[in-house]
Amino acid sequence: MNSGIKYSEQELVALLQQRSESAFSYLYDNYSGALAGVINAIIPDTETMRDVLQEVFVNIWKKIELYDASKGRLFTWMMNVARNAAIDKIRSRGYQESKKNLSVDNGGQEMAIGGVSLPQTKDIGLQRMLAGLKEEYRTLIELSYFQGYTHEEISKALGIPLGTVKTRIRSALSNLRTMIR
């Protein structure tokens, strides 16, 4: 698949902005696997994950003008597009309905957060990295990063002060970095 050409990030972005199909092909070849992994960490179901992956590539193609290199690397941007799409998906009514059939009635979202039916540690990527974190940290990252709850929502659901939620998430992520090293 890979034709052996290697684009710099700048070149790739410029070509995508000119709607170059070969640049899209290159983007897909190089990043579809990694982005699939990012989505899969949030949506374990393969079929749904692939639907979201398609949505993500369509969005990247459509919205490449919005990418601002001064704010971060291309992959970071794509990763956030993927994460947002995945979270939108699990928040959607359709997805919630299909989930309900599988699990016991959990009495709505609030309970779902409170009861944190947590890791099932999926053995991939960030999730695996998470496994090394302290329990209290792991829960917070799971809720904020993988389930997309805001700090306020988490603070309310877990009864932890907002400031503490924020500090703990930050130090968890900071630990994450040193752990990976």
**From 25, 92, 98, 117, residue interacting with another protein (rule: CB under 8 A):** 25
The reply to whether 145 sits near another protein by the rule CB under 8 A is yes
Is the separation of the CB atoms in 169 and 144 below 8 Å?
Answer: yes
The reply to whether 93 sits near another protein by the rule CB under 8 A is no
The reply to whether 174 sits near another protein by the rule CB under 8 A is yes
Q: Which is nearer to another protein, 73 or 100 (CB)?
A: 73
Query: DSSP H helical segments within the chain, as ranges?
Result: 9-17, 21-40, 46-63, 74-91, 93-102, 109-115, 125-131, 135-141, 151-158, 162-180
Residue type, 54: Q
Q: Which is nearer to another protein, 80 or 96 (CB)?
A: 80
Distances (CA, A) of 24 to 28, 83, 154, 180: 6, 20, 38, 31
Residue type, 123: D
The reply to whether 88 sits near another protein by the rule CB under 8 A is no
Minimum Å distance from CB 130 to another protein? 12
**Length in residues, the chain:** 181
Q: Which is nearer to another protein, 78 or 112 (CB)?
A: 78
The reply to whether 70 sits near another protein by the rule CB under 8 A is yes
Distances (CA, A) of 122 to 10, 68, 113, 141, 145: 34, 32, 18, 14, 14
The reply to whether 137 sits near another protein by the rule CB under 8 A is no
The reply to whether 67 sits near another protein by the rule CB under 8 A is no
Helix axes 93-102, 74-91, angle to 10 degrees: 60
Minimum Å distance from CB 82 to another protein? 10
Residues of this chain that bind another protein (CB under 8 A): 1, 19, 21, 24-25, 28-29, 32-38, 40, 50, 53-54, 57-58, 61-62, 70-73, 75-76, 79-80, 83-84, 124-126, 128-129, 144-145, 151, 169-174, 176-177, 180-181
